[in-house]
Structure 1
């Protein structure tokens, strides 16, 4: 993740990448061990994306978009639900029935969230913010994703300033754990 352009282009590209991972999971038979690796890859990308949105996108929405507080609160609630699902999924093997149940739930949650962002939030933000503001937000989001956590932390703060202070440290620990375990690596 880290594509360039304004924040809307950046986040929309992230959405397409996660959807591609979901399609790969759906194409594999139930119980296939590759589904777990793909689920881990999706989780890594989703957590990094969500943390960056919570650090920079949603504060901008609160500031610039009419009724931005309500919109941002709803989006953060969507993230919290998906994060709990990812946390539950983390402990499942791909040959367990619960894995398929949780993966299906996560895909539904994320697809609904993406549709809402792309059809409602992003057009409102594009109308409310200047192109320069959107470019600056894109750069901030890209920077945040580089140090963001890669594992779900459902009890971590999801609003500034606490999330901006704690996310880089959690991200460093997560990346070390991922490197040691091989999590998220393609075969």
Structure 2
């Protein structure tokens, strides 16, 4: 969950972690119950990652990157789309006929989003911000991920200040639910 380094290194490591989970899912046959476990793990990581980006990365992009508002708005639209897919997926068992279709949709949404961030947004942010600022953002993102929800909440606010106020409470409830059900454990 926390990798270290500046915000770009932290978020890129998250991207790689989720891609590894996607590869595990793709390597299993349709209906294999392990697919659901990996999907839950991926969802948990993606939700924490998204909440941290929405709380700290996108406000920094708006403030420091030329045309940052448009970039941040596009990223938020992509997050909302993926979150709706994760919410649908949450209710599916691995042997549900919709599971593989929803999982493929989510993987496509996330891979497209990651490519855009890593090839467009991150280089522009690195150019616009000092190393010190990027390191401080990395620290804030790591802290936010610790308190963030682990389940999709498509109707929750995705911009400050409301998201920063509500995310820790939703995160606590989600982590309690996960602990009680064993969700996301190997």
Runs of at least 4 residues off by over 2 Å: none
Write out aligned runs for 1:49-64 (5 A).
49-64=49-64
Match of 1:111 in 2: 111
Where do 5+ consecutive residues of structure 2 fail to align?
none
1:182 maps to 182
* TM-fit CA distance, 1:96: 1.5
Name the counterpart of 1:71.
Answer: 71
Deviation per CA, 1:87-110, whole angstroms, max 9, x where unpaired? 000000111120000000000000
Q: Distance in 2 between matches of 1:44 and 1:180?
A: 15
Structure 2: how far apart are the matches of 1:9 and 1:90?
29
Quote the Cα distance in structure 1 between the aligned partners of 2:90 and 2:13.
25
Q: Which residue matches 2:151?
A: 151
Paired residue secondary structure (1:34): helix
Report the TM-score when normalising by structure 2: 1.00
Which residue is equivalent to 1:167? Answer: 167
Residue number in structure 2 paired with 1:142: 142
Distance 2:13 2:92 in 1: 28
Question: Number of residue pairs matched?
Answer: 186
Provide the residue aligned with 1:13 in structure 2: 13
Partner of 1:95, secondary structure, is coil
Q: Residue 100 of structure 1 corresponds to which residue in structure 2? A: 100
- Could you give the per-residue CA deviations for residues 21-50 of structure 1, whole angstroms, max 9, x where no partner exists? 000000000000000000000000000000
SS of structure 1 residue aligned to 2:98: helix
What CA RMSD, in Å, does the superposition of the two structures yield over aligned residues? 0.3
1:2-29 per-residue CA deviation (whole Å, 9 max, x = no partner) reads: 0110000000000000000000000000
TM-superposition CA deviations, 1:118-159 (whole Å, max 9, x none) = 000000000000000000000000000000000000000000
